[in-house]
Amino acid sequence: MIFEAAKESLKKKLSTKFVAVEINPVLLCILFMRRLFNPNRNNIQITYGDMFTMNFNSLTHEPVNSLTFYLYISPWHIEKTVSNIKRQYKRFSIVSYMYPVKSLLKKEKKTEGNKHTVYMYNI
């Protein structure tokens, strides 16, 4: 997802920064390899981290205009991740692939993809 989004961003001449957070070292290696072949690699950061506890401010030293978290994690992990985001930001967006964020139900917008639903929340 991050690699396709970064390619689209480059085509549209946007300066969007992408940060992938992964906890599994094997998957991290694959992410680092794939980054090497992405034409927009300078705007992609790959980071080891635990989404439940990490301090997201540590990921960038530049001011951020708008912040979108793209989540593709199991339903039993989503709420812990969203709680951590809420502790750190008042305004943010979430895009969750496949799984809804039950605690944000009132703000939910759904889009049907080819195979799965994508859930969006603007907080």
Applying CB under 6 A, the site for ligand SAM has a residue count of 12
CA distances from 39 to 6, 19, 69, 87, 113 (A): 8, 15, 22, 34, 26
Closer CB to ligand SAM, residue 24 or residue 42? 24
CA distances from 116 to 2, 96, 111 (A): 17, 11, 9
Phi and psi, residue 120, nearest 5°: -125, 145
27 binds ligand SAM (CB under 6 A): yes
Among the residue ranges 6-14, 20-28, 84-92, 102-110, the one whose residues contact ligand SAM (CB under 6 A):
20-28
Select from 11, 39, 64, 77 the one that contacts ligand SAM (CB under 6 A): 77
- At position 117, the amino acid (one-letter code) is T
- Which positions lie near ligand SAM, rule CB under 6 A? 1, 21-24, 27, 50-52, 72-73, 77
